Structures are given as C-alpha cells and as structure tokens.
Structure 1
C-alpha cells in the first residue's frame, strides 16, 4: 500500500475518489505531520481516547504490521494524548504511523523517533481526566465528521489525511495514478510553453458554454481527457 502511495499524493487520491464516486472523507483542516514531509498509508486501527493510554496499548494487541493508529480524542485542544512513549510502542508494534483528532506532545522526541504522527499540533499538558469507556471503543473512531473503522485505509502527507474504504483502495490508487500521469504531462507542456488554456481547448469550452450555459468545465475536461479539477 505504502509503496503504491509513495508515487502519489492525497490531492490525487481525493480527485480519484470524486472521479470514482467513492465517499470523500478528509481529516479536518489543520491536521498535519509533526515532521513536514512525513507520509503514511495503511489499514486503520481505530481507538477512542478516554484519558488513559491503556486504550492504545490494547489496540496494539490486535495490530498488524503497517497499520495506522487512528485516535479519536474529539478534537480536544486542552490536552495532548500522544507522546514519545506511545510513539515508540507504536513503532515497536510495527505500525506505519499515528493520526490524532487532537494534539500531541514531546515534539523533539517524536522528531527523533521518526514515526509519522499527524495531529492538530503540540501542547505540553497531558490528560488529567478519566471518563467511562464505551464498549465499542476499539471498533470505530470519529475523526471530524467521519467514522473510521478497520475496514478503512489511511493516507497522509503534507496536504492532510484521507480515509478510503479498503475494498475501494486499489481502484482509487489506480485512478489516482492515471490522473497524476495526465497532470504531470500537462505540467511538462506548460513548462515547455503550451498554456493550460490551449491544452484544455479553453476557447472551445467558452464557445460551448455560451451556447449551453449548463456545460461545465468538468464536463469539458472529461470530454477532452484533461485533469485539473474533479
């Protein structure tokens, strides 16, 4: 999974989801890598946090190599729920990374550990609360407005984090590769002096739109085989 995604990006995966009609589920804006440039891809390992790290340690007992721990901390801004020890344990369990709907701490240590961790940002205080755990705390996690389960895969890079149904991931990655190839060729042609307007027959589009106001640029791109937006 990671090998395939290494040549792609989350924008390409997002466009592929739209092209294929796969529900587009993105982490909220602001979720980013502790270390810029870090990337991750793997099966989701969900866990809802209630104030104690034991929920994560329990999740690791069912982890498979390459999984990504998806932590639901409700987007809280008053506590950091992941630090260096949890990251070390995640790496020892074979995980590909951690994504947090919330905050992290121990930033210098996380940088040194070099396991991809994505969160809203850093905060010194850890949890002081301990709330009751729900029975399904390890079967699903909320991340923004989305529910993530073990039937999903996670993709993350400098543009954010996406969640894709595992049974559609191969098709999505294939489409993302196709879109990426088209965009790279378009970029090459722009650098060579051929404008994007010329490549996309933009004058023809304007003429068609004048005759048919319902004719959209997306329809036009489909007709000519271009890729700029979905």
Structure 2
C-alpha cells in the first residue's frame, strides 16, 4: 500500500474522495509526523487506550505486516500515550506506523527508531489513570468525528492523515493519480508562462457565470479538464 501511495499525497487522495463522491474522513487538523517527511499507508489496526499499554500489546498480536496502529486516546492533551517501547514493539510486530489521536513522548528515541509516528504533539508525563475498557477496544478507534476499523486504510504525510474505506481504495488512488498528473502539467505550464487563468479559460468562466449564476468554477473545471479544487 505504501508503494501505491509513493507518488501521491494526502491532498490528492482527499480531492479524489471528493471527486468520487466518497466520505472525506480526515484526522482533525494539527496532526504531524514526529519526523517530517515520513509517510504511511496501510490497513488500520485500531486500539482504544485506557491508561495502560496492554491494549497495544494485544493489538500487535493481531497485526498483519504493513498495518498502521490507530490509537484512540480521545484527543487528550494531559498525557502522552505512546513512547519508545510501544513503538519498538510495533516495529517488531511488522506494523508500518502509528497515528495517535493524542500525544507522544520519548521524541529523541522515536526519531532514532525511525518508524513513522503521527501525533498531536509531545508531552513528558505518561498516563496515571486506568479507565474501564470498552468491548470495542480492539474493533474500532475513534479519531475526532470518525470511527476507524480494519475495514479502513490509513494514509499520512506532512499534510495530515486520511482514512479511506478499503473497498474504495483502488478507485481513490486511480483518481488521485489522474488529478496529480493534471496538476503537475498545469504547474509546468504556469512555470513556462501560461497562467492558470489562461489554462482554465477563466474569462470564459466569468462570462458564463454572469449569464448563469449557478455555473460554478468546479463545474467549469470539469468541462475544460482542469484540476485545482478537487
């Protein structure tokens, strides 16, 4: 999956979801890779955190090579729920990376380990609580407004993290590649002096919009074959 995502980006995948009329499920803004430039793509391995690392160890026992651990810590900012030992164990289990709805710690060690970890920041204290475990602890993980399961694929890069239903991934990636090719060609032409306004026949768009206020720029782009908004 990471190889299939190699020449793409989360913005392209997001645009492809919009183009295909599929749910756009992005992690809430602010998530970043611990090491800039790291990328992830793989089947979701959900785990809800309740204050103890045991739920991660149990999840690793179910992991397939290339899975991405999706950690639901409720977006808490009062504790770090992932550190170096959990990440080392994830690597030993064949997990391709972690995305955390919460915070991490042991940053220098995580950088040295090198396994991609995405979180909402760093914080020294670990958990001091132990909450009651839910029956869905290893079946689904909440991530902001989204519910993620093994039926989803996770994509992540410097722009953020997306969750896409596995049944739609092939379609989404194919559309993302088409959009990417169009955008690269448009960028090349801008650099060579052909403005985006000219490429997209923007004056024609303005005239059509004046005649028909319901005529949108997205509709116009689809008519002329451009790609900038989706």
TM range (shorter): over 0.9
Distance 1:47 1:10 in 2: 23
C-alpha displacement at 1:4, in angstroms? 1.2
What is the match of residue 64 of structure 1? Answer: 64
- Work out whether 1:228 is the aligned partner of 2:228: yes
What is the match of residue 25 of structure 1? Answer: 25
C-alpha displacement at 1:86, in angstroms? 0.5
What is the match of residue 178 of structure 2? Answer: 178
Deviations 1:88-146 (A, max 9, x none): 00001001100000000000000000000000000000000001101111000000000
What is the match of residue 100 of structure 2? Answer: 100
What is the match of residue 74 of structure 1? Answer: 74
What is the match of residue 140 of structure 1? Answer: 140
3-state SS of paired residue (2:154): strand
- Work out whether 1:200 is the aligned partner of 2:200: yes
Distance 2:118 2:222 in 1: 34
CA-atom RMSD in angstroms: 0.4
Distance 2:136 2:8 in 1: 34
What is the match of residue 52 of structure 2? Answer: 52
Q: Normalised by the size of structure 1, how large is the TM-score?
A: 1.00
What is the match of residue 152 of structure 2? Answer: 152
What is the match of residue 12 of structure 2? Answer: 12
3-state SS of paired residue (1:58): helix
Q: Segments of 4+ in structure 1 off by > 6 A?
A: none
Distance 1:197 1:63 in 2: 49
Q: Which runs of no fewer than 5 residues in structure 2 stay unpaired?
A: none
What is the match of residue 87 of structure 1? Answer: 87
Distance 1:96 1:193 in 2: 42
C-alpha displacement at 1:22, in angstroms? 1.0
Q: Which runs of no fewer than 5 residues in structure 1 stay unpaired?
A: none
